Amino acid sequence: MGLLTLATLAGTGAAHADAATRALPAGCSGTAPIKCHYAVSPGNYDVTVSLGGASAAATDMWVEARRLMLPATKTAAGAAATYSFTVNVRQPEGQPTGQGGTGNPGLDIRFAGTNPQVSAVSVKPATQPLVAYLAGDSTVCDQPVAPYTGWGQMITPAVGPGASVANYADSGESSGSFLRNSALFPALLAKVKANDAVFIQFGHNDKQTSASAFRSNLTSMITQVRAKGGVPVLVTPPVRRQFNGSRLTPTALHVNGLGVNLPAEMRQVGTAQNVPVIDLTAKSKTLVESLGPSASAQLFLRSSVDGVTDNTHFSQYGASQMGGLVLQSIREQRLPLAAYLR
């Protein structure tokens, strides 16, 4: 990924004893996982960690409500690796309506993996970072309990220091309910500053939304984000895994119960409002159909692996693939967040 450098982290205030006897940083406890807590207020924070210790390790790092910050990263015995990122802290820390729990005030970092090791952690307030806000539903949100995973909690490892992801997506929301709920769009909008990006994905729960209402809801969000100086980006919804032969069905492609082609309506709003559109419907359609009815199951939840069969919500692997498609589009279209991607 090009995001680690072998080095010794200095200047953090942590004790730098011999690796064989190095204690955990202040605020951290446990062995596998190692859990660290920092009593900070909601906001954005620059974090630098030093991984490694006396023995070989493979460490992955998660923050808050299962937001992945670092996939499993190996360190040799006696070596160290530094990693920096900017993290968004809020309360509740996961879904804004508190579904799945509200978490703990402050910043929580969890180091897991095979013999995870961390020797230093530095946390300080970030200065005017670019914030990428996510507005969406359960396919985007920070899902608190595995195996359910939203793509929004899997794009964070790719976002370098100076930018953070604030995931306001919430399970079960339609374009209209998200717009009206004071804990959702109004709360998100209150935080937006000039040049922040707001990624807007709806469709899964707009099953009975008319074309005119869908367009109106999206246009309202766009107008309000622009009024704050933010940059709105529309994201068409990822497909469901519902096949007719080798092709996905209209329902899988988000033609709703009223016959409204929701992705097409979103594309039209993007054109009319001169707003960038990430066509995740088209990209995920290509991916899912290329895998076929059987192999595409790994992207979603399977009873044999996850204990539940669900052709809408993603496995951790599936969420990482969907997030990868979003990141691909951000780079291709040179959207504001692109300059911060690793």
Cα 329 to Cα 57: distance, rounded to the nearest angstrom: 34
Percent of the chain with pLDDT over 90: 89
Question: What is the rounded average pLDDT of the residues 112-138?
Answer: 97
The CATH fold assigned to 128-342 is Rossmann fold (3.40.50)
- Give the pLDDT confidence score for residue 11 in this predicted structure: 31
Percent of the chain with pLDDT over 70: 94
Where do the domains of the chain lie?
A: 1-6+34-126, 128-342
Burial of 33 (0-12, 13-18, 19+ CB in 10 A): middle
Task: Please provide the average confidence, as pLDDT, over all residues in the chain.
Answer: 93
- Give the pLDDT confidence score for residue 60 in this predicted structure: 97
Write out pLDDT tens, residues 46-70. 999 999 999 999 999 999 999 999 9
Q: Which CATH number fits domain 1-6+34-126: 2.60.40, 3.40.720, 2.30.30, 2.60.120?
A: 2.60.120
100 vs 11, higher pLDDT: 100
Question: What is the rounded average pLDDT of the residues 107-125?
Answer: 97
Indicate left, alpha or beta for 13 from its phi (over 0: left) and psi (-120 to 50: alpha).
left
Within 13 Å and on the Cβ side, how many CA atoms surround 186? 7
Write out pLDDT tens, residues 5-58. 223 223 333 333 333 345 899 999 999 999 999 999 999 999 999 999 999 999
pLDDT band at 304, cuts 50/70/90? confident
